C-alpha cells in the first residue's frame, strides 16, 4: 500500500513540452483521419448515385418498352416530338407521356379526367429526380431521352446522367 501512495506522490511525469508535442501529434492524426473519412464518404456517395441511376434507368427502360411496344396512332409534331399515341391494342386510348410536377414519369389518357398513370411508381425513384424527358418518333422508332439527377442539394456536385433508349412498336402503323 505504501508503494502505491509513493507513486501517486511522486513528482515524476511529463513536462509541458512533452504534453504539447503529444497533443499536436494527436491533432495531426485526427485531421488525417477526418480527411480520409470525408474522401471515403464522397467516393461512396458518387458510386451509390451511379448505381442507383443505372438501376432506375433500366427500370424506366423496361416500363417504357411495356407502354411503347403496343403504341399505335402515333402523332408526332414537326421535329418528331410525340404529342400523343394510342396505348391499347383493343381500344384506342390516346396517351401522352410527360413528367409530372414532382419529376416522375407519367402518362395521361383522354377521357380519363387526365388522371396520371405511372409506369414506374414514384417510390422507385428514391433520391433521384428525372429531368428533361423527351420522346420522339421517326422512321418507325421511338427515342426516349432523359436525365437523372440527385434530389439531395448537398450532392449538387453529382452531374446529371443522361440516358437514351429506343423502342420499335410491335403493332403495324
**pLDDT tens for each residue of 82-133:** 877 777 654 556 777 888 888 888 888 765 667 788 888 888 888 888 888 8
Q: Sorting pLDDT into bands at 50, 70 and 90, what band is 24? A: very high
Output the CA angle 96-123-46, nearest 5 degrees: 105
pLDDT at residue number 7 = 64
Residue 80 has pLDDT above 70, yes or no: yes
pTM for this predicted structure = 0.72
Spatial CB neighbours of 147, under 8 Å, sequence gap ≥ 6: 130, 131, 132, 160, 161, 162, 163
Residues 29 and 31: their CA atoms lie apart, in Å, by 5
Q: Burial, 128: exposed, middle or buried (Cβ in 10 Å; 0-12, 13-18, 19+)? A: buried
Plot region of 79 (φ>0 → left; ψ -120 to 50 → alpha; else → beta): left
- Half-sphere exposure for 49 (CA within 13 Å, toward CB): 21
60-79 pLDDT, tens digit each: 999 888 888 888 778 788 77
Query: Is the model more confident about 70 or about 25?
Result: 25
Residue 164 has pLDDT above 90, yes or no: yes
Amino acid at each position: 500500500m505504501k508503494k502505491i501512495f509513493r507513486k501517486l506522490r511522486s513528482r515524476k511525469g511529463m513536462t509541458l513540452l512533452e504534453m504539447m508535442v503529444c497533443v499536436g501529434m494527436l491533432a495531426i492524426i485526427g485531421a488525417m483521419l477526418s480527411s480520409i473519412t470525408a474522401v471515403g464518404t464522397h467516393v461512396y456517395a458518387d458510386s451509390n448515385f451511379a448505381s442507383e441511376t443505372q438501376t432506375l434507368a433500366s427500370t424506366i427502360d423496361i416500363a417504357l418498352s411495356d407502354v411503347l411496344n403496343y403504341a399505335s396512332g402515333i402523332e408526332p409534331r414537326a421535329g418528331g416530338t410525340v404529342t400523343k399515341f394510342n396505348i391499347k391494342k383493343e381500344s384506342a386510348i390516346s396517351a401522352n407521356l410527360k413528367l409530372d410536377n414532382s419529376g416522375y414519369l407519367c402518362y395521361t389518357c383522354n377521357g380519363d379526367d387526365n388522371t396520371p398513370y405511372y409506369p414506374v411508381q414514384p417510390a422507385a425513384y428514391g433520391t433521384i429526380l428525372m429531368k428533361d424527358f423527351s420522346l420522339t418518333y421517326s422512321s418507325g422508332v421511338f427515342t426516349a431521352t432523359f436525365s437523372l439527377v440527385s434530389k439531395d442539394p448537398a450532392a449538387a456536385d453529382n452531374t446529371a446522367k443522361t440516358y437514351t433508349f429506343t423502342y420499335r412498336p410491335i403493332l403495324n402503323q
